[in-house]
Each structure stands twice: as structure tokens, then as C-alpha cells.
């Protein structure tokens, strides 16, 4: 199985900050990577697919990059509404696997 | 508007069985692959099963393989997950998820809670 490792596990930042989350795959997944945002008590919401494609209606402050085994999710200007847990997921091969999540706290 | 509404979650004793259902609307169900993804309380996301738009291919995570059966009824716009031999570790919110082009999981239901406990 392909293991996905996110870092950091938690981060605290202020409104307006630039935030970066890293996701590493245990083997190459080309660009078959998605990022999801999950607010407490809610279902996950797709932000980025194919490593860098922004899903419809997702704010432009979210961006993704990377290929192969290393990927990043960047929030260019953190907003209070971005307080959530973020997950990466590979869909290169079954079983599809998720990272353990990164909890973002907005100070 | 795309909607996925899960039902069937319940409190079940270990060893019991359960069938989850997902009613889809707002899109042409028969043209999309579908997933079940679950989340144990306070834990991360776990993909557990996939079914192609015509009913194949079918894939399972090792954690549920041999105990679970995914199926769909395109005429009824419905997705199902039959779970047998339930264990404590199957306690989770189960999400019905649409798979779009390339494999991204673009729409999620609100989830159905399955609690396995004696």
C-alpha cells in the first residue's frame, strides 16, 4: 500500500499568514493527489485535484503543487474560515490512501 | 444540485450485519464511479470501497474485504454497502462519495454513523 505522510500534524497561524502543508508519498504517484478540507462535524470538501488543479468554487488563496512523491498545499493569505483539518489523498493505486491530517488553527 | 444522502447507520452488536444505502440526486448517477469512505471518531479518513459506474470494477480495503459488499442500482440512483461480521473497529461515520474524472472524490454525503458495541 502507498503510505501518505503529512507534516506538520498541527499548526497555528494568524490571519493573513502564508501557510504550507506538506504531503509525502511512499512511492511515486505522479500527480494523482487530492487535498480536502474538513471542518468539525462536517464532511470533507475537495480543494485541489491532480496535485495542482483548483476545484470549482474553491477560493484562489488555496493552491497545490508537486509531483512524484512530494506535494504541498499552500494557503496564501490565511482567513479565519480556514480553521479546519486538511487531508491529502492519493488515487494513483488501490487502496486509495489518505494522510493522517493537518489541523490548522487560526489565532 | 448534487446530493448524496446516506441512511442505515445504527447501533449494532459485534458480529452483526448492516446495510448502508446512499440516495443520489442532481446528477446522472449511472455515469459516475462511487466510493465509500469512513472516519472513526476523532480519527482520519479511510477509503474502504469503490465501484465502477456499471458495477465493475469493485475494490475493497483489506480492513473490510471478505466482510463487505458494495453494490449499486443505477435505475434507483442508489449505492449500497452490506457489512457483515461487524467489529468494534468498524465504528465510524460512513460517507458516500462521488468519483469524478481522473478519480477525485468531488461530492460527499453528510455521513451515516455506525456504532458497533455490545
| Burial (0-12, 13-18, 19+ Cβ within 10 Å), B117 | exposed
Residue A47 C-alpha cell reads as 480543494
A2's CB contacts (< 8 A; 6+ apart) are A25, A26, A27, A29, A90, A92, A93, A97
pLDDT at B102: 80
pLDDT at B118: 93
CB distance A21 to A27 below 8 Å: no
Give chain B positions within 8 Å (CB) of A91: 102-105
| Burial (0-12, 13-18, 19+ Cβ within 10 Å), B41 | exposed
Residue A33 C-alpha, separation from nearest chain B C-alpha, in angstroms: 8
pLDDT at A12: 97
Cβ burial B95-107 (10 Å sphere, 16+ → b, else e): bbbbbeeebbbbb
Residue A84 C-alpha, separation from nearest chain B C-alpha, in angstroms: 13
CB distance B67 to B81 below 8 Å: no
For the segment A84-101, the average pLDDT, to the nearest whole number, is 98
Interface of B with A in 46-65 (CB under 8 A): 46-47, 50, 59, 61-62
pLDDT at B101: 81
pLDDT at B103: 87
Residue A107 C-alpha cell reads as 489565532
A54-77 pLDDT, tens per residue?
999 999 999 999 999 999 999 999
Interatomic CA distance for residues B103 and A96, integer angstroms? 10
Give chain B positions within 8 Å (CB) of A43: 95, 108-111
Point out which residues pair with A24 in neighbouring strands: A5, A70
Give chain A positions within 8 Å (CB) of B35: 96
Q: Report yes or no: A31 at the B interface, CB cutoff 8 Å.
A: no
A20-66 pLDDT, tens per residue?
999 999 999 999 999 999 999 999 999 999 999 999 999 999 999 99
Residue A62 C-alpha cell reads as 488555496
Q: What is the pLDDT along chain B (118 residues), one digit of tens a residue?
A: 999 999 999 999 999 999 999 999 999 999 999 999 999 999 999 999 999 999 999 999 999 999 999 999 999 999 999 999 999 999 999 999 999 988 899 999 999 999 999 9
Interatomic CA distance for residues A89 and A23, integer angstroms? 9
pLDDT at A86: 98
Q: Report yes or no: B42 at the A interface, CB cutoff 8 Å.
A: no
pLDDT at A38: 98
pLDDT at B51: 98
CB contact under 8 A, A95 and B104: no
The count of C-alpha atoms lying within 13 angstroms of the C-alpha of B6, restricted to the half-sphere facing its C-beta, is: 28
Around Cβ B43, how many Cβ atoms within 10 Å? 11
pLDDT at A83: 97
Point out which residues pair with A10 in neighbouring strands: A103
Mean of pLDDT over chain A: 97
Amino acid at each position: 500500500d502507498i503510505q501518505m505522510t503529512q507534516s506538520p500534524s498541527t499548526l497555528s497561524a494568524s490571519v493573513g499568514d502564508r501557510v504550507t502543508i506538506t504531503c509525502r508519498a511512499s512511492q511515486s504517484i505522479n500527480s494523482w493527489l487530492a487535498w480536502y478540507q474538513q471542518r468539525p462535524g462536517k464532511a470533507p470538501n475537495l480543494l485541489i485535484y491532480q496535485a495542482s488543479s483548483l476545484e470549482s468554487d474553491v477560493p484562489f488563496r488555496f493552491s497545490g503543487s508537486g509531483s512524484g512523491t512530494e506535494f504541498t498545499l499552500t494557503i496564501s493569505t490565511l482567513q479565519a474560515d480556514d480553521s479546519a483539518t486538511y487531508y491529502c489523498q492519493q488515487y494513483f493505486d488501490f487502496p486509495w490512501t489518505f494522510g493522517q491530517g493537518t489541523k490548522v488553527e487560526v489565532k | 444540485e448534487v446530493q448524496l444522502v446516506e441512511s442505515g447507520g445504527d447501533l449494532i452488536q459485534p458480529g452483526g450485519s448492516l446495510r448502508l444505502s446512499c440516495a443520489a440526486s442532481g446528477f446522472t448517477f449511472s455515469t459516475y464511479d462511487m466510493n465509500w469512505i469512513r472516519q472513526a471518531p476523532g480519527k482520519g479518513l479511510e477509503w474502504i470501497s469503490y465501484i465502477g459506474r456499471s458495477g465493475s470494477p469493485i475494490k475493497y480495503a483489506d480492513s473490510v474485504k471478505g466482510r463487505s459488499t458494495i453494490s449499486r442500482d443505477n435505475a434507483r440512483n442508489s449505492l449500497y454497502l452490506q457489512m457483515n461480521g461487524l467489529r468494534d473497529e468498524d465504528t465510524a461515520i460512513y460517507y458516500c462519495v462521488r468519483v469524478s474524472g481522473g478519480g477525485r472524490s468531488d461530492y460527499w454525503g453528510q455521513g451515516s454513523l455506525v456504532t458497533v458495541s455490545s
